[in-house]
Amino acid sequence: MLEGASDMKAVIVDDEIPSQDILKYILEKDGRLQVAGTYASPHAALRALPVIRPDVVFIDVQMPMMSGLEMASKVNGINEHIHIVFVTGHQTYALQAFELGVLDYVLKPVTPIQLNRAIERLLKRKSQQPVEHGAHSAESKTPSSPPLSAPSSARIRCLGGFEVTGPGAEAQPIKWRTSKTEELMAYLYLKRSKRVTKWELFDNIWPNVSQEQAHSHLHTTLYKVRRSLKEADIAGTIDYANNCYEVHLASILSDAESFERFVHNEAPVNGNNAEQYERMLASHQGELFEGYDYVWCESAREYYRDLYVKASRQLALHWIEQGSYEPAIAVLRRSLDKFYLDEDSHELMLRTYFLRKDRISLVKHYQSFHAMLQTELGLLPKESTSQMYADMLESL
């Protein structure tokens, strides 16, 4: 425990009293934070913050009087150095949490392990924060970074499913009129800002009907897509010229685009950005258009899968180099839970158990990996992997 950590104050805001009590109990048992207030009303909590001046506020995302996203914006307006942890029973808001720059995102039911991660991040942030700019300082409002804001942009979730939601924190995902309307929107979004011929749309969206029928279906379905976007107040156009269509969506937040942009633009994992990698990987909810049988997106699925797996391995390698084997194992386990056929990640997991001198976990993982390959693919591990495993056993 860091010296003086118990002087740090926390406020809990959740309209469900049992959830408040559980969170308060875990925090008090941990002992590193003093619970300075619990509130069912976000309005009451906001009035109390200038007096309490907490270091962190735990906010339930879905509250009837005010969404947690809106409250986060208001907390930032009171004191931008108060850290925020979202607590929710839904993964839907993970991307917004990342984009808003909140400290952490904890899923209900809350566990001591989840809260330990959030507290460790808080302590690390506070240790890097100059004293004169802390949460207990005078109300200096000079921003050092862009302030939080409620999600005014429309959102598209492509990883772990497919949802298109209009602007505003309370907006609900579009309910598409037909499955083909939804599929056409997904296809056009994947090909955004690129010209798509009508023949390509015929082949991919309506492969089993005549050209005349496909042409009729396309016009009808395009009308439904445009109408759905307009009703959801989503700014954008689907332009047509020279037998080609092109979709342009203005100011829309996409989990797939955010993830791709982060991986391509961020520096290799290091001590300064490892936390950002952790948060972005945690916001990744699954395969591109998961749960949808879209044959036309297989190559794109492979692309996004590869981005996620490689970023996970890079982060795990960073932790291994630091001698932090538990975080490395957690990253690899999360990756393998989603993409369990990635042999390189299995091999890195074996190396991590070996470095930790954990013979039992090493043997258990190799046997599980061996059985999975045989069951799923009828294959054995690569000879180099089997030899590496044998060498490890001999050394332990």
In this predicted structure, what is the pLDDT of residue 300?
92
* 284-328 tens-digit pLDDT: 889 999 999 999 999 999 999 999 999 999 999 999 999 999 999
In this predicted structure, what is the pLDDT of residue 332?
95
Q: Amino acid identity of 201?
A: L
Which residues belong to CATH 1.25.40.10 in the chain?
A: 255-395
Q: What is the number of residues in the chain?
A: 396
Q: In what order do the strands lie in the sheet with 163-165?
A: 163-165, 154-157, 252-254
Alpha-carbon distance 127 to 193, whole Å? Answer: 44
Residue 268 sits at the vertex; the CA angle it makes with 267 and 269, to the nearest 5 degrees, is 115
Residue 190 backbone phi and psi in degrees, to 5: -60, -30
* 86-100 tens-digit pLDDT: 988 766 666 666 666
CB 153 within 8 A of CB 161: no
In this predicted structure, what is the pLDDT of residue 95?
61
Residue 106 sits at the vertex; the CA angle it makes with 105 and 112, to the nearest 5 degrees, is 140
Domain 154-252, CATH among 1.10.10.10, 1.10.3720.10, 1.10.1060.10, 2.40.40.20 = 1.10.10.10
| Residue closest to 103 by CA, chosen among 134, 126, 79, 74 | 126
The two most distant CA atoms of the chain are separated, in Å, by 75
Residue 116 sits at the vertex; the CA angle it makes with 115 and 122, to the nearest 5 degrees, is 90
Which 3 state secondary structure label does DSSP give 246?
strand
What number of other Cβ atoms are within 10 A of residue 363's Cβ? 16
In this predicted structure, what is the pLDDT of residue 319?
94
In this predicted structure, what is the pLDDT of residue 1?
41
- For residue 191, the Cα-to-chain-centroid distance in whole angstroms is 23
Q: Split the chain (396 residues) into runs of 10 and give each run's mean pLDDT.
A: 63 91 90 91 89 92 85 86 85 62 80 86 75 43 37 83 88 94 95 88 94 94 94 88 85 87 87 87 90 93 93 94 92 92 94 96 96 91 93 93
CATH fold of 5-133: Rossmann fold (3.40.50)
In this predicted structure, what is the pLDDT of residue 178?
96
- Strands 236-241 and 196-197: what pairing? unpaired
In this predicted structure, what is the pLDDT of residue 90?
66
CATH (residue range 255-395): 1.25.40.10
Which 3 state secondary structure label does DSSP give 19?
helix
| Residue closest to 127 by CA, chosen among 53, 49, 55 | 55
What number of other Cβ atoms are within 10 A of residue 265's Cβ? 7
Alpha-carbon distance 229 to 252, whole Å? Answer: 12
| Residue closest to 229 by CA, chosen among 290, 173, 178 | 173
- For residue 157, the Cα-to-chain-centroid distance in whole angstroms is 10
The residues pairing with 201 across neighbouring beta strands, listed in sequence order, are none
Which residues belong to CATH 3.40.50.2300 in the chain?
A: 5-133
Q: Amino acid identity of 86?
A: F
Alpha-carbon distance 162 to 290, whole Å? Answer: 8
Alpha-carbon distance 165 to 269, whole Å? Answer: 32
> For the residues of 335-377, what is the DSSP string, one character each?
HHHH-TT-HHHHHHHHHHHHHTT-HHHHHHHHHHHHHHHHHHH
